[in-house]
Every structure is written in C-alpha cells, then in structure tokens.
Amino acid sequence: MKTLEFLIQRLAKAVMVVIGVVILNFLLIQLAPGDPAAVLAGEAGAGDEQFIAQLRAQFGLDQPLYVQLLSYLKNVIAGDLGFSYRNHVPVADLILERLPATLLLTGSAFVFSLVLGITLGVIAARRRGSIGDSVIMTGALVFYATPLFWVALMAVLVFSIHLDWLPPFDMETVGAGYTGWARVLDIAHHLILPAVTLGLFFTAVYTRLTRASMLEVMNLDFVKTARAKGVPRGRIIRRHVLRNAVLPVFTFASVQAGQLVGGAVLTETVFAWPGIGRLMFDALLQRDYPVLLGVFLVTATVVVAINLVTDLLYRIVDPRIEATG
C-alpha cells in the first residue's frame, strides 16, 4: 500500500525529469546561435536553402513556440527522436542499436568499481594507519585525480601496444565470426580494458567514501554497545559496521550513475566501443545535432531509470525509510 504510493510518486518524478530533458533539448535548439532548422539539419545541408525551407515547414518552425514545443514533445513520446540527415536513419534506430553495448560497458564498470571500491575501503578502514591503508589511499588519491581518457590511453599503451595482452579497439574481433560462448569470451576479452579504465576513477571515489563511512560508523554508540556485549571484533565489523557504512556508499553510487554514463563517452571514444558514447563523439565530429540531443536524452533516461531502481532497492534494505520517507 505504502510501497505502491511510493512507487507511483517516484515514477511520476522520473517522468518529470525525462520531460524536463526533452524541454531542455527543445530550448537548446531554439537558443543555439543561428537558424533552428540549420541546427536540425546539422552540417548535412546547412548550405542548401531549399532543404532548410523544407525542414522549416516540416517542423512547423514558423509557428508559435509553444505549438512547436508541444509537437516536439508529442514526437518524442511517440519514440521519434528526430532524423539524422547525416546518416539518413532515424535517430532512435541509431541509438537503440548502440545502447546494449553502452549498458554492458557501464554496467560492468559499475559493478567492478563498486565491488573493488568497497572491498578496498573496508580493508583500509580495518587496517587504519597501516602500510596497506596508506597504499590503498594513495592509489585512490591518484586515480581520483587522473583523467579517464588518459588512463584509457595509457592502458592501451601498456597492455595493448607494449604487452599485447588485450585488444585496444572494438567490442569483438572483426571478421572472426565467433558464435555462442566463444563470442561471449571474445567480447569479455574486449571488455576488460574499457570497463576497468572507466571504473578506476569511480573505484577511487567509492574507496575513499567507504573508508570514511566505516570510520564514522565505528565511532558510533551502538558499536560500543556491541563491544560491551562481548561481540568479537570481526563480527562487529561484519554485522554492525559494514551494513550501516555501506548504505550511504550505495546512495552516492546511484547519484553518480550519471557521471558513469558521461564517462562512457570518453572511454568509448578511446576504445572505439560501438556504444552511444562513441555515437555522441561521431555526432560531434559531424555536427549531427539531432543525434547529439537524442543521445543526451537517452543517457538521461537511463540514469533516471537507475536512480528509480536504487531508490526502490534502498527502501527494501533500510527499514527506516518507510517511516521518514
């Protein structure tokens, strides 16, 4: 009953955000320097007067703004994200084709960074002040300061060019024609470098966060109670500290989902990963604005969906939410 209400509320909020992004996109087209029709056409036909005029009529660009906005909204809701005049394909088709690759990459990077980050953070907090703690925290500090794309390039330099262990480009071996498990393995092999380099920055973030959170929880009164009960140290960490400390890390990770998807633009560019990030980069080069805006909308939608799911999960994990939420 209460959960249903919560679900509806959260869903409404998510829809509002997505609509907000659509409106934002529309405003950007309007606010862009020059003719909105030229923006929509991209580089493809900027010089062609007749083509621009045709576009203007097609999009009703001579009508009042709110009418344009409504029809734009209507189109997007119907799944029409515009047309890439550059590629002569509907934007939605382009994006849908590329989306799975991005979800695979960001999903793997997310799991990798969360698991590694929390593990390292817990180790560092338990061995506070030790050499292990210093090594972990220095590493986290360095990766927190390193540009994603540069880590990716350096990884290619070392692991692909010099050591020749891992493939530097693409999602699978071109022309190999693998099927079944062989293909899965091949993709996994290609996935390692992009996922790890994308995940390292976030690993650093989660490590620092977990350690800080663990240390904070260790100072709370109920940990003292547990000691007064005679609970051994290992069990205190596992049963009392860990769960309380990791919850805020999850919340933060969910808020950060947007950053992860944004980072995928860079990683996919470096590794020629056939996802929407790479698509965005190509659209940039080609001034293909409908694709650019479409990718932006879809990434925002993905992030909203992730946040929605984590909110629901959080509600299950933390008993206090129901009372205060």
Partner 1 sequence: MSFFRRYAQNVGALVGLAILVVVIIVAAAAPILYPVSPWQGIGDPLLGPFEDSAFPLGTDMLGRDIAAGLAYGARVSLLIGVISTAVAVLIGVSLGAVAGYYGGRVDDLLMRFTEFFQTIPAFAMAVVLVAIFSPTITSITLAIAVVSWPPVARLVRGEFLSLRSREFVQAAIVIGQTGPRIMLTQILPNAISPIIVTASLMVATAILTESSLSFLGLGDRNMMSWGFMIGAARTMLREAWWLSVFPGVAILVTVLAINLIGEGLNDAMNPHLRGRKG
Partner 2 sequence: MMNSAAPLLEVASLSIPLPPGLDREYAVENVTYTLNSGEILCVVGESGSGKSMTANAIMGLLPSYLKPSGGRILFRGRDLLTMSETELAHERGRSVAMIFQEPLSALNPLMKVGDQIAEVLLVHGERDSARREARVLDLLAYVGLPDPSNLRYAYPFRLSGGQRQRVMIAMALALEPAMLIADEPTTALDVTTQAQILELIRSIQRAKGMGVLFITHDFGVVADIADKVVVMEQGVVVEQGRAGDVLNRPQHPYTRRLIAAVPHRDGQNERASTIGEPLLEVRNLSKVYRSGGGLFSKPRVVRAVDNVSFTLRRGETLGVVGESGSGKSTLGRCLLKLTDVEGGEIRFRGQDLVPLTPAAFRPMRRHLQMVFQDPFASLNPRQTIGRILTDGPVANGVPLVDAERKARDLLGLVGLEPSAYDRYPHEFSGGQRQRVGIARALALDPELLIADESVSALDVSVQAQVLELLQELQRKLDIAIIFITHDLRVAAQVCDRIAVMYRGAIVECGPPSQVFDAPRHDYTRRLIAAIPGLHWDPRAAVA
CB-wise, 231 or 284, nearer to partner 1?
Answer: 284
Query: What is the bridge-based pairing of β-strands 89-90 and 83-84?
Result: antiparallel
CB-wise, 211 or 240, nearer to partner 2?
Answer: 240
User: Which residues does 60 contact at the CB level (< 8 Å), separation at least 6?
Assistant: 67, 68, 71
- Residues 240-269 vs partner 1: string with x where CB under 8 A? ---------------x--xx-xxx-xx--x
Contact 321/315 with Cβ under 8 angstroms? Answer: yes
* 245/117 Cα distance (integer angstroms): 13
Chosen residue from 69, 70, 96, 284 binding partner 1 by CB under 8 A: 284
Within 10 angstroms of residue 272's Cβ, the number of other Cβ atoms is 13
275: nearest Cα among 183, 200, 190, 203: 190
CB-wise, 69 or 212, nearer to partner 1?
Answer: 212
User: Which residues does 37 contact at the CB level (< 8 Å), separation at least 6?
Assistant: 52, 53, 55, 56, 59, 61
CB-wise, 8 or 157, nearer to partner 2?
Answer: 8
Residue 227: name its binding partner from partner 2, partner 1, none (Cβ under 5 to 8 Å by kind): partner 2
Q: Under the criterion CB under 8 A, does residue 296 sit at the interface with partner 1?
A: yes
Within 10 angstroms of residue 115's Cβ, the number of other Cβ atoms is 13
Contact 260/158 with Cβ under 8 angstroms? Answer: no
Q: Under the criterion CB under 8 A, does residue 132 sit at the interface with partner 1?
A: no
* 153/160 Cα distance (integer angstroms): 10
- Only one of the segments 75-83, 160-168, 232-240, 282-290 lies at the binding site for partner 2 (rule: CB under 8 A); that segment is 232-240
Contacts to partner 2 from residues 266-325, by CB under 8 A = 318-320, 323
- Only one of the segments 20-28, 94-102, 197-205, 239-247 lies at the binding site for partner 2 (rule: CB under 8 A); that segment is 239-247
Please identify which residue in the block is written with the tokens 């920055």.
201
Q: Under the criterion CB under 8 A, does residue 147 sit at the interface with partner 2?
A: no
User: Which residues does 190 contact at the CB level (< 8 Å), separation at least 6?
Assistant: 166, 167, 170, 171, 172, 173
- State in angstroms the smallest separation of the CB of 92 from partner 1: 17
CB-wise, 24 or 53, nearer to partner 1?
Answer: 24
* 17/71 Cα distance (integer angstroms): 19
Chosen residue from 3, 8, 19, 71 binding partner 2 by CB under 8 A: 8
SS3 83: strand
- State in angstroms the smallest separation of the CB of 148 from partner 1: 7
- Residues 158-197 vs partner 1: string with x where CB under 8 A? ---x------------------------------------
Contact 195/270 with Cβ under 8 angstroms? Answer: no
- Only one of the segments 4-12, 90-98, 171-179, 300-308 lies at the binding site for partner 1 (rule: CB under 8 A); that segment is 300-308
Contact 6/325 with Cβ under 8 angstroms? Answer: yes
Q: How many binding residues for partner 2 (CB under 8 A)?
A: 28
Q: Binding residues for partner 1, per CB under 8 A?
A: 17, 20-21, 24, 28-29, 31-33, 39, 128-129, 141-142, 144-150, 153-154, 156-157, 161, 215, 255, 258-259, 261-263, 265-266, 269-270, 280-281, 284-285, 287, 289, 292-293, 295-296, 299-300, 303-304, 307
